[in-house]
Every structure is written in C-alpha cells, then in structure tokens.
Chain A
C-alpha cells in the first residue's frame, strides 16, 4: 500500500471533496458504499459501508433442517453457487461421518471446477469492461451460458442451483450433460486463448493494471486474504492442495502463484486457474470412465433424500423422506469446521450441532467479506479510476459480503 500525504482540516490546501462511490454505482457490482475523500482525483481516505442486503442467513440457518440450508448457501456467492452447495453438503457429511463413492467425488470436482470457471469468466470479463474493453467480456459470456446449460442438464436450474444432496447428487448425470461438457472442453480453450491474447500484452490494459493496488504477501496474510488475491501476492495457499476434499488428492494440478500482488497479477492468476480447472475436469472425465456409471450417491438411506417417484410408491421411502425433511434424523452433538476453495478463497462452514433438528450455530467464513475489508485502506493514495479497477479485481460478490 502506498503512503501519501493526508491533509488536515487546517491545511490551506485541503479542499477535499466527498464522493459516494456506491451503493448503487455500476462499478460497485452490487450494493456497497464507499465514502471517499478526494483531493482532485486522488483518494485521501475512504470508509466502506456494507450490510445493505444483509439477510440474516446465520440466524435463519438456526431454524432450518440441514437440507433446507442449501438454498441459503446458493445465495452466498451466486456466481459459483455449486461450490457453496457442495461445501455445505461436505460439511454435513463430515459431521455425520458419511463417505461418498469416488464417482460422486469426481462428479463434484467437475461441477465445482465448472463453477470456478464461470466465476472467473465474470470477474476477468468485467475487469476488462472496467478498463474499457467490452469485447473480451462478450466472447467469454457465451461460455458462462454453456456452463449454465450443463448445470441445467444436471439439476434443472441455472443460477441458484441447489445442486446435490447429502451423500451425492439428486439424480445421475445424463448423456446430454456429458456431451455438453465435452463440447465445452473443446470450445472453451480456444476462446480463453483468444481472451488472453486480447489482454495479456495489451498496452492499455497492462498500463491500467500493472502495479495498481499492489499488495505484499505480508499485508495479504495480515488481512486474512485467501484465494486468487492471496496467491497473486505470492502465497501458494489453496485449500484444494493443502486440505484436499472430494478426492482432489487424486488429481494432478498446479496452484498458480503471482509475484506482484497487483491487479494484473490477479487477472493472470485467475486466467491460469481456468486452465487448471479445465485440466481437472478433463482428468475427472477420464477417471469417471473407470467407475460404475450408475452410482451417484452414497448408500445412506437415513440421510439421503429418496427420489420423488419412490416417495410416491414406496412406504419406506415416504417415511425416510418425511423424517429427513422434518429434520428428524439423528445427528451428533459436536462441532465441525470444514472449508472448500471457493472461487474467491477459503469458504468455511463452522457448524455447532446439539443433536437437534437444525444447527445450534452456523457461521459462514465468507471470503468476499474478509477480502473486501482491505479495500478502503488500500485505496488511500490511489486514483479514483484505479480504485474502480481494483474493486473489479477483488471480485467481491455482494451476496457473500453481506450474508
């Protein structure tokens, strides 16, 4: 972070202007307000205000059975909701001691990596838009649509997916889903390559992003940053590599690390992560071929919601369905912390359970919330136009910020 002179009220030069950046400015990507003190175009100080869409998720979660908490997690980071869903389901599985079959793990890896790509497409695309380049965004958006079509094939919905169940998936992946996935794997690399050649050595883009909002590794760690932001600052912490979940230990992938910690590094790290995600999906497809094709959930009838057609025709299934939906399933009296690598960083679930029908306390460690708190201090001394680009590069999602 740069240090620039801060004018006091008695200073004759101190003709500062106050600017409300947000809450509904297009560049604030949601609803967060920053009250900035400007000396010309340079930011002297800033205060961030959040909470405009606070929906009390943690309070609501204390009143809901485990299954009904999944829709809440959908709405945290809505650009990559499957990661949140599965993170939550894996937390409950950890609590209940459920082991999932390998095929479920690999399918989860596929869906989570698709979600990561979708999230990075939006982030890097919008970063281009904020520097004045709309083309890249348009090129890439097509593939977010392709990813949404794959979700649609898997679970029927696109944005807030509610994908999966405790123990696996609600239904098996059909052949159309795999066909779309294979098509995506063929088509997307070409566009990603084109996107990179459009930006990586683009004079205007590099001038606007290089050395802007540079953060050192120490600062990033002190602010508890995670995800691409921390890695761009040179710390190779990735939950997938350090605490593998969902069989990530079976895969061969690299954790891209930047050097500068500036906006440009973050852009490059995200691009590189998309390549790694493609690698992971490709490996997962190969691994899936060796697994039995009809397995899509663990054999835990007391926790896994039975299929609807069975509920209508089978008494046993109806009883289980009722017990699970009403939260009458036996759960241990203990606490668990589980984290996954969300698109923005470590997404953690701290669940304290008392054996009741809903969690006694559920806390979401939301990466956007923790990443965003550095925004105001790091904007000090920056130009207003740089602060806009910096906000894009942080990829703060309002749903995750306010929860």
Chain B
C-alpha cells in the first residue's frame, strides 16, 4: 500500500481528536504532532488499531528536556505503519514536578524497556508500568542524568581540576 500523505493522516487524526492534537511540523517529511497526557493512550490506540492507518510498530520512545519552557519534559513517540510505510512522531510535554504519563505497555510489550530508559534518564513516571525501575544507571542514584541541569562532568571531582594539569 502506498504511503499515507501527511495531510490525510492529519485530517484523520483531526476528525477523531479535534483540538486535542495539534500539528508541530513536518521536519524532513515526518509528521509531528503534539498532544496531552490525557489523550496520548487514546491517540496511540487509534493509530494502532485503525484499519486504514495500522501504526502497529512502535519504533521508539524517548524523552527530551527544555529547562526554559513551562512544560519542561517532553516524551517523544515514533510509530511506524509497516503496511503503508508511514511514520509519525508524537510529542507530549509535561511540567516538572508532575511528570506522570500513562504507560504504553498496554499496547506494546516493547514499550517496557523504552519507558524504563526514559524514566531512568528523565524521571518520567509512567503510570501503570509493570516494572518501573532504573535500567542503565544504578538503583540508588537520585538524579535523572539526561536533564540539562546535570553537567557531563561531576563538578565535585577534584582529580580533573585544571591546576593539576598545569592549565
């Protein structure tokens, strides 16, 4: 089947969700929409189960941090319809201190580790996740290291001070 044009895809989503889903843009031809956490599972379910769209494949879930924005933490989903070879990117932004979003493991088993990774790096709490623990970092870590306030080097380290190297 041929690729679904972005306008048509957006129209289908608009018919179902109206103002709840807004267009962000089409960078490099990839339709990018934004929605709220109340709508995200409904939107993902619609995209996955709609017989014409069939976004059955969850490519990726990840996060992003914009410290200067009111809603700082973004969660980004990439879906792929293998029958029509169409991709879509969905973004949800949440305010810091209230970083809760329903889990997508109800739709895809594979979302499990992707969400654990997003939790580990950004502190996003996926409500209803069966096993929300850190995945790559140690369990007793308190920071969420991919947030922008954490610098690459630990500022408290003394062995990397310039004066030890004659700088």
User: How many residues does chain A have at the interface if contact means C-beta atoms less than 8 Å apart?
Assistant: 40
Determine whether the beta carbon of B136 is less than 8 Å from that of A54.
yes
Residue of B89, B109, B136, B145 with most partner-chain A CB within 10 A: B136
Total contacts A-B at CB 8 Å? 86
Q: How far is the CA of A151 from the CA of B82 in the complex (A)?
A: 34
**For A374, what are the chain B residues with a Cβ–Cβ distance below 8 Å?**
109-110
Q: How far is the CA of A370 from the CA of B117 in the complex (A)?
A: 11
Shortest Cβ distance from A241 into chain B, in angstroms? Answer: 10
Residue A369 CB within 8 A of the other chain: yes
9-residue interface stretch from A33-41, A82-90, A216-224: A216-224
Q: Which residue of the partner chain, among B27, B114, B138, contacts A335 with CB atoms under 8 Å?
A: B27
Determine whether the beta carbon of A51 is less than 8 Å from that of B135.
yes
Determine whether the beta carbon of B146 is less than 8 Å from that of A59.
yes
The bracket for how many chain B residues form the interface is 35 or more
Residue of A nearest to B25 (CB): A334
Residue A235 CB within 8 A of the other chain: yes
Interface of B is mostly: mixed
Please judge, given known A-B contacts A59-B152, A94-B28, whether A222 and B110 are in contact too, CB under 8 Å: yes
Residue A148 CB within 8 A of the other chain: no
Interface positions of A from 270 to 315, Cβ below 8 Å from B:
none
**For B108, what are the chain A residues with a Cβ–Cβ distance below 8 Å?**
222-224
Residue of B nearest to A95 (CB): B28
Shortest Cβ distance from B111 into chain A, in angstroms? Answer: 8
Determine whether the beta carbon of B60 is less than 8 Å from that of A363.
yes
Residue of B nearest to A403 (CB): B136
Determine whether the beta carbon of B152 is less than 8 Å from that of A224.
no
Residue of B nearest to A52 (CB): B136
Q: How far is the CA of A334 from the CA of B112 in the complex (A)?
A: 28
Residue of A337, A377, A402 with most partner-chain B CB within 10 A: A337
Determine whether the beta carbon of B136 is less than 8 Å from that of A402.
yes
Determine whether the beta carbon of A365 is less than 8 Å from that of B146.
no
7 A-B pairs besides A51-B135, A352-B64, A365-B59 with CB distance below 8 A are A56-B145, A59-B152, A60-B152, A222-B108, A224-B108, A242-B85, A243-B85
Interface residues of B (CB under 8 A from A): 27-28, 30, 32, 56-60, 62, 64-65, 76, 78, 82, 85, 87, 89, 108-114, 117, 121, 134-138, 145-146, 152
